[in-house]
Structure formats: structure tokens, C-alpha cells
Amino acid sequence: MGTFLKQVSILAKSMGPPQPPPNISAAALHVSGSVEEAATVLNSFKKKTLDAIKLNDLKIEKQKMEKRIRDEQRQKRLLEYENSRLDEKRKMEKDLRRTRHKEEREKANYRYKKDKERRHNKEEKRESYRRKKNKERKTRKEEEEEETYRRKRDEERKTRKEEEEKERNRRNRHKERKTRKEEEEKERYRRKRGEERRQAEQDKRTERGSRTPPTSQQEGTPKTPPRIIDSENNDHTGFEGPIDYTGRGSSCDFPN
């Protein structure tokens, strides 16, 4: 069907649009009407043929697109399946490693526990046997020697402990002396800064107090620097009490 439509399309294009005859006589008017009808039918056939060809091309393009979409979806599903298989495999391997490590830890703990019990029993047996033999062959002289050795060991331990205590006290005293020295340095620095700040404030008050008060003022507008009302409210920010902007003694009035 597609090949036939292509052949018809080629034939219609080769024919071209219908052309009227160059000379039409009065006797051939009925023939001219027949030719026009034939041309109309042919043009309609050509249009339908081209529409059918376009429709067929669109169907083919649609089929190709649908096939490409199906292929992409199938590839996507395959990729998702492979990823899920890999995830499942990794999870199984992780679970297997965890189980194997758990079993190895349990075996190691069991061996350690058994070895500890075995050593403890062996030491208890050895200690019991040693005590029994010592009790059997121990004499007063041996007991005195053992007592002497024990006292000597206790004295050495006591001496070592006292030396450690002395060393610890010496270090603590050194640390306290160093801390006290640092605090004294900080206190001297603070005092020095306080003296400098107070001296600077005193110089500032002296400089401001030496200024002459204004002799004349316009209405509401000061011509000289503001006059200090209260010089006792000094702080460390440079502000020296309420300021009179009007010359009438009010600390809350400001110029317009």
C-alpha cells in the first residue's frame, strides 16, 4: 500500500497543475467543461493522495517513537533490576560478614573465658600447694626473715609514696606561685590602666573647665560649645553629665 501511494504521488507531481487549452472554440465549450471537471477530480485525488501519504508518514513516525519509548522503558527496567540485584547482593554480603564477625567474636570470648578459668584454677592450685609446703617446712627463723622482708618492703613503699607526695606538693606550689604572679601582673596592669584613664578624664575636665562661657546667644541657638551642668556624673565613655543647650539651666531642651 505504501509503495502504491508513493507511485501515485510521483505521478501526480509530474502532471503538475491543470492547464486550460490555449484556444477554445464555441463548438468545443462542452469539451472544456468536461476537462475542468476532470481537472477538479484529478486535483482532489492528488490532495487525498498527499494527505494519505502524510498520514502514513505520521503513523510510521509515531510507531518509531513508540518503539523508541518502549526500548528506553525496557532498558530502564533492566537497569533498575540490575541495581536491585546488586543492592540485594551487597546486603547479603554485609549480613554474611556481620554474622561471621559475630561468630568469631563469640568464639574468641569463649576461648578467653576458658583460658581465664584455666589460669585461675591453676594459680589457685599452685598457691594452695605452696602454702601447704611452706606451712610444713616453715620455722621461726623463716617467719622472722619473712617479717623483716615485709617490713622493709612496706618502708620502701611508704618512702616512695612520701616522695611522690612531696613532688606533687612542689608542683602544686610552683603552679600556685605562677598563677599568683600572673594575677598580680594583671592587677598591676588594671591599676595602671585605671590611673591612665582617670588622668585622661582629669585632663579632659580641666581642659573643658578652662573654656570661657558664651557672652551672647541668639534665640534658641548656642554660639559656643555646650556648657557642663553636672561634672560629677563622669563615666569612661567621655560623656560628662547633662548638657545645657539653651543657657537657661534645662538639661532636656535641644536646639530647634
**Sorting pLDDT into bands at 50, 70 and 90, what band is 208?**
confident
Q: What is the pLDDT of residues 116-126, one digit of tens each?
A: 999 999 989 98
Cell numbers representing residue 66 in the block: 513508540
Give the CA dihedral 38, 41, 45, 47, nearest 10 degrees: 110
Report yes or no: 5 and 56 within 8 Å, Cβ to Cβ: yes
CA distance 11 to 46: 9
Report yes or no: 9 and 50 within 8 Å, Cβ to Cβ: yes
Residue 22 has pLDDT above 60, yes or no: no
Specify the pLDDT at position 213: 54
Q: What is the pLDDT of residues 160-175, one digit of tens each?
A: 999 999 998 988 988 8
Specify the pLDDT at position 14: 58
Domain spans of the chain, in order of start: 104-161
Q: What is the pLDDT of residues 169-202, one digit of tens each?
A: 988 988 888 888 898 999 999 999 999 998 988 8
Helix (H) or strand (E) run with residue 34 in it:
helix 29-137
Residue 68 has pLDDT above 80, yes or no: yes
Specify the pLDDT at position 219: 47
Q: Could you tell me the pTM of the whole model? A: 0.28
Average pLDDT (209-217) is 57
Q: Tell me, what amino acid is at 15?
A: M
Q: What is the pLDDT of residues 82-140, one digit of tens each?
A: 999 999 999 999 999 999 999 999 999 999 999 999 999 998 998 888 888 877 877 77
